[in-house]
Amino acid sequence: MRVYVLNGVNLGRLGTRQVDVYGLTSYADLVTMCVETGRELGLDVLVRQTDAEHELVGWLHAAADERAAVVLNPAAWSHYSIALRDACALLRGPLVEVHISNIHAREEFRHHSVVSAVATGVICGLGVDGYRLALHHLARRLSAETAAAGS
């Protein structure tokens, strides 16, 4: 079962960017954690990060075409990118929106995500553990869907 873990703008700077907000985990460590967690759960996890909005939209289109599940940290784009929201609405598999920080406890402009309305679920404020939780949720969900389709 393919799961895309997609990360938006500035997330490649994890471990060095605002460590008081985002923690000390590096982006490379996040990738390793997601891939290893996926392997343990029987998921084929593909992790990507971009600072180019059009590239992220293209990856979402690919996930939609594959009917793949997605874990998405849209970063700052979550607050204003209608293009990203519309690409998420095309997904045929489940979408879990993840934010490392608690966006509701930060600046007011971060309190709203245009992506949340089309997401299956949202995890925020649990640090990089949010990715692990999202993958566990998707593994259970996809397994249940596969079992239901087989009966």
Catalytic residue among 4, 22, 27, 131: 22
- 20 appears as a binding residue in the annotation: no
- 101 appears as a binding residue in the annotation: yes
| Phi, psi (degrees; rounded to nearest 5) at 104 | -80, -15
- 143 appears as a binding residue in the annotation: no
- 100 appears as a binding residue in the annotation: yes
Distance separating alpha carbons of residues 136 and 112, to the nearest angstrom: 25
b/e sequence 69-89, b meaning 16+ C-beta within 10 Å: bbbbbbbebbbebeebbebbe
22 is catalytic: yes
99 is catalytic: yes
- 116 appears as a binding residue in the annotation: no
32 vs 8, 25, 95, 110, CA distance in Å?
17, 11, 21, 28
- 110 appears as a binding residue in the annotation: yes
Annotated binding residues for substrate, as ranges? 73, 79, 86, 100-101, 110
Annotated binding residues, as ranges? 73, 79, 86, 100-101, 110
Q: Looking at the annotation, which residues are catalytic?
A: 22, 99
